[in-house]
């Protein structure tokens, strides 16, 4: 297939890569004024009509994802269409590399980083599963580590959408990462993706697949009938709890395997060993779980919580640390994730705030005034979330709306408490 000058409304600029069935181009969306990736279906790549029909179904499946999977760790499908000879899908442009370079024994990532990657995969695939979508082809080649620091799951072409008329197609997926039930062509649930993520976790930790064989038939036999080699026989330094998590994800029995993504993610987050992480660094898995536990964020979706992580700075600070000084200027506000703080004005204590409370929010609410009207000091060791007003102003409309509604709820609550106190004094 020669490079076209234009596909639909998109200007084609250069070829990024090609396979037997598709070509991916870098393009320009003239309407949205943004760079995009255009995946064009290549009919010439099929050896038979049956193969062409199968991959046309996969194309339609991936096209159906447009607008359904709006999650920070899933590639955003912007558009899909069939126009004349072109079958194409338009996606956000990603720059980075896949996990493939990190599945060899001499190129492994740090264990703490692997845990964060798999945790993010769990939350993203949980989001997809709640939308009725199972990926069915999870493997390192379909996980992108972007130059921006973000992780993206790509290639939902093999996905199973639960509300479609036909939910299964044989011969889809990569055998080494396929679950026993997928190889048997049983009805699939989200647990098939859990198994595939388990294989990927095993490989990222050891540089080896849990099963290898000389041919596909022997490989399938092993996956369906043999226990995987103990992960600690390849990496003796792996903690016993992490080894348990890996092997639970790889259980052949659905009853013994993780039943849902939440339990898998929770075990991974609990397995992060603080001694292996820089004390000043707070893992994203811990941040995400903290946000989910705070009353401040009770109305935020998981997608919005991940965006909060992107626009915020987190710090652990000792008791007695001055967080805000009366009379100073600043355009940031704070949410207390752990611990407590003392609020004073002219040396007199006004209040004591606990986890889930916010302070300094007037810097965001009233953009014309940035002077602090009270001092805030850490009363204990604290974990503090700091958000610059400008960073939130540049965030998505949905996130700004959620913060605005939350601040309004807090202000109304504070006003009610003040009115009650005033009424008591007057009485």
Kindly list the catalytic residues.
Answer: 137
Residue 282 structure tokens: 């707070």
CA distance 374 to 333: 13
Q: Are 339 and 289 in contact (CB under 8 A)?
A: no
Q: Which residues of 236-264 are buried (b: 16+ CB within 10 A; e: fewer)?
A: eebeeebbebbbbbbbbebeebbeebeeb
Residue 91 structure tokens: 């996606």
DSSP result, 145-158: EETTS-EEE---TT
Helix (H, G, I), strand (E, B) or coil at 353: strand
Residue 179 structure tokens: 């679950």
Radius of gyration of the chain (CA): 25
DSSP result, 7-73: ETTEEEEEEEEE-SSEEEEEEEETTTTEEEEEEEE-GGG-SSHHHHHHHHHHHHHHHTTTTT---TT
Query: Which is it for strands 375-378 and 96-98: parallel, antiparallel or unpaired?
Result: unpaired
DSSP result, 81-93: EEETTEEEEEEE-
CA distance 391 to 388: 5
CA distance 129 to 133: 5
Query: Which is it for strands 340-345 and 348-354: parallel, antiparallel or unpaired?
Result: antiparallel
The count of C-alpha atoms lying within 13 angstroms of the C-alpha of 109, restricted to the half-sphere facing its C-beta, is 21
Own/partner contacts of 171-175, CB < 8 Å, gap of 24 or more, are 171/54, 172/58, 172/136, 172/137, 173/136, 173/137, 174/137, 174/139, 175/216, 175/219, 175/220, 175/223
Q: Are 52 and 20 in contact (CB under 8 A)?
A: no
- Residue 166 has a CB neighbour count (10 Å cut-off) of 8
């Amino acid at each position: 297939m020669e490079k076209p000058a234009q596909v639909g409304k998109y200007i084609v600029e250069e070829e990024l890569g090609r396979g037997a069935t598709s070509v991916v181009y870098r393009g320009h969306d003239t309407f949205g004024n943004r760079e995009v990736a255009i995946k064009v279906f290549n009919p010439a790549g099929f050896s038979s009509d049956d193969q062409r029909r199968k991959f046309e179904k996969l194309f339609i499946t991936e096209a159906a994802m447009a607008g359904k999977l709006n999650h920070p760790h899933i590639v955003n499908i912007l558009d899909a269409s069939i126009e004349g000879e072109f079958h194409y899908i338009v996606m956000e442009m990603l720059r980075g590399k896949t996990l493939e370079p990190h599945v060899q024994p001499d190129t492994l990532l740090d264990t703490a980083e692997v845990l964060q990657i798999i945790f993010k995969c769990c939350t993203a695939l949980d989001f997809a599963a709640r939308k009725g979508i199972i990926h069915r082809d999870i493997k390192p080649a379909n996980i992108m580590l972007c130059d921006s620091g973000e992780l993206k799951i790509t290639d939902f072409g093999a996905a199973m959408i639960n509300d479609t008329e036909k939910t299964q197609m044989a011969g889809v997926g990569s055998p080494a990462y396929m679950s026993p039930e997928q190889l048997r062509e049983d009805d699939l649930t989200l647990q098939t993706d859990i198994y595939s993520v388990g294989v990927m976790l095993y490989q990222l930790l050891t540089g080896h697949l849990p099963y290898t064989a000389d041919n596909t038939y022997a490989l399938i036999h092993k996956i369906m009938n043999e226990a995987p080699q103990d992960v600690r026989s390849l990496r003796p330094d792996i903690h016993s709890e992490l080894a348990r998590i890996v092997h639970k994800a790889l259980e052949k029995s659905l009853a013994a395997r993780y039943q849902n993504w939440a339990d898998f993610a929770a075990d991974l987050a609990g397995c992060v060993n603080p001694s292996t992480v820089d004390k000043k660094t707070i893992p994203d898995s811990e941040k995400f779980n903290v946000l989910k536990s705070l009353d401040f964020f009770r109305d935020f979706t998981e997608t919005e919580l991940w965006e909060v992580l992107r626009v915020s700075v987190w710090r652990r600070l000792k008791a007695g640390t001055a967080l805000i000084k009366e009379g100073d200027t600043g355009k940031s506000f704070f949410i207390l994730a752990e611990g407590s703080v003392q609020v004073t004005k002219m040396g007199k204590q006004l209040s004591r705030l606990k986890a889930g409370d916010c302070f300094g929010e007037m810097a965001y609410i009233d953009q014309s005034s940035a002077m602090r009207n009270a001092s805030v000091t850490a009363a204990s060791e604290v974990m503090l979330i700091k958000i610059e007003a400008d960073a939130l102003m540049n965030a998505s409309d949905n996130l700004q709306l959620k913060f605005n509604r939350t601040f309004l709820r807090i202000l109304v609550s504070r006003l009610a408490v003040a009115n009650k106190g005033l009424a008591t004094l007057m009485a």
